[in-house]
Amino acid sequence: MGNQRCCLGRTVEAFVGEYASGKTEVSINRALALNRQNRRVVLLDLDTEEPVYTVRTVRPLLEQRGLEVVSLESHMVFGLGEAGVPVTEEMVTVLRLPGDVVIDVGYGVHGAAALNLIDGLEDEPSLTVYCVINAKRPMTSTPERVARYLEELDPCHKIVNNTNLGRETTREVILDGVEIVTQASRISGKPVAAVSVDARIADDLGLDRMDLGAPLWRLELFMTGKPKL
């Protein structure tokens, strides 16, 4: 993940996905990967659906790592989902900031709709929307369900296969996910950009020596342990 360099110009990427797809982990790691290329990176927490396992709960750590994080402060989030505090002006106007922008979007169709709140996003030529898929989740457990979900989330330009069962992830879990997501890619016409895996599991299973059908993105996990509220 860290040694893939982008073309000249700004990078604007959004990560969407179902609940427990792992999109927040993927978006954080993608932002850090860009930052390691000596790029200025803004990470936007646009998750208005889930107030607990979000970028904002680890904001101080990510800022120490060199990211500029735009989000609500954790103490400002009083409710769940639609009862929560709305987005701020800083979040809506994030594209006016210099540098690359990585957006962690709320889960599901309602969460993805929050992208419409960002000024100028529809006219942003460098925008790529990634759909993060965990084939061990009920809504995305078969190729047909994944393809249907991708259609519902339109726009979705590329897929990140993040199939896992947490600490119980095995080689079979990874390979089953590769098969399901690859078939869904053929059905939908959406390319698989990467297979993302907890770096420790990737090492234990020797995934760097396996053909996964797409580049391996090794993840450093941040959404672990007790939520920081």
Range of the domain at 102: 12-219
pLDDT bucket at 86, cuts 50 / 70 / 90 = low
Is 81:42 a contact under the CB 8 Å cutoff?
no
Q: Write out pLDDT tens, residues 105-126.
A: 977 777 778 898 899 999 999 9
Domain annotation covers residue 1: no
Cα–Cα distance, 162 to 197 (Å, whole number): 6
Cα–Cα distance, 190 to 157 (Å, whole number): 6
Q: Which pLDDT value is given to residue 50?
A: 63
pTM of the entire structure?
0.88
Domain annotation covers residue 6: no
CATH of the domain at 179: 3.40.50.300
Whether the pLDDT of residue 75 is over 60: the answer is: no
Neighbours of 65 (CB within 10 A): 16
Domain annotation covers residue 38: yes
Q: Which pLDDT value is given to residue 1?
A: 62
Which residues partner with 130 through β-bridges?
15, 158
Answer whether the bond into residue 191 is a cis peptide, omega within 30°: no
Cα–Cα distance, 166 to 162 (Å, whole number): 11
Q: Which pLDDT value is given to residue 52?
A: 64
Domain annotation covers residue 93: yes
Whether the pLDDT of residue 77 is over 60: the answer is: no
Domain annotation covers residue 208: yes
Domain annotation covers residue 165: yes
Q: Write out pLDDT tens, residues 7-61.
A: 458 999 999 999 889 999 999 999 999 999 999 999 999 987 666 678 999 999 9
Q: Which residues contact 198 (CB under 8 A, 6 or more apart)?
A: 164, 169, 218, 219, 221
Domain annotation covers residue 7: no
Number of domains in the chain: 1
Sign of CA dihedral 119, 125, 126, 131: positive
Whether the pLDDT of residue 165 is over 90: the answer is: yes
